Structures are given as C-alpha cells and as structure tokens.
Structure 1
Amino acid sequence: MPHIRTARTAQRLAVRALAAHGLAHPLTLALLAVVSTATARAWEAGHRVADTHPAPVQRADRGR
C-alpha cells in the first residue's frame, strides 16, 4: 500500500501548490510529475484507479 499512500500525498501537495502558485510555477509542475510517476507505479504494482481515488462518502438524505 505504500504506492497508494505516495500517490495520494503527492496529489494533495500538488493541489495545494496549484492553489497557492498557479499551474505554471516550477514547484507545481514538479509535483505534478511526482503525482504521475507515483500513480503509474501504483498501477504497475496492480492497484486500480479506484484505490488511488476512492469514491466520496455518501451521506444520508435527511429529507430537507
């Protein structure tokens, strides 16, 4: 499971860098490269895309 953890962490960091610095910033571009590499390694290790991007938790409708 270290591949999945690495991919998720890299994705979170890339999103934060994107929000703070924009898409053209070198840090954002480097983190996006790390995300793609980590995700590719997870895929090659046999993990599914759903393992990297789990579905959001469904909340019960309270009739509002």
Structure 2
Amino acid sequence: MPLQTRVPAEVKRRFDAAADLRGISLSRYLEELIDLDPLAPPRDSRPLQQEGSIEQISA
C-alpha cells in the first residue's frame, strides 16, 4: 500500500531550486539522487545521460 504524504514547502522549494540550477525537472533530479544512494536498489535499465545531470556537474 503506497504511503502518500505532503513534502514541507521549504523542502520542495530547495529541491525545485536545485533542479532549476541544473536545468532539469524535479523528477529527473530525484532520479539522479537515488542513483547516488549506495543503499538504493539498482534500476533494471538506466536512461541515457542527459546534459546537466548531477554526475556530469560533479565530475
């Protein structure tokens, strides 16, 4: 059963701002973050790298 909750407005603003700075959507930003988490389960298939991804910016 999925659990839905509201994200505090300040947290959402911070994530939106971080995604905007990278020129990517909030959804893409969250996908990039989960890819960096060593405890997260691996994806079956990884989409092509997009320009402005976190990995490219931090490299």
Same fold at TM > 0.5: no
Q: Whose radius of gyration is greater, 1 or 2?
A: 1
TM-score by length of 2: 0.35
Greater RCO, CA 8 A, separation 6+: 1
TM-score by length of 1: 0.33
- Greater helix proportion: 1
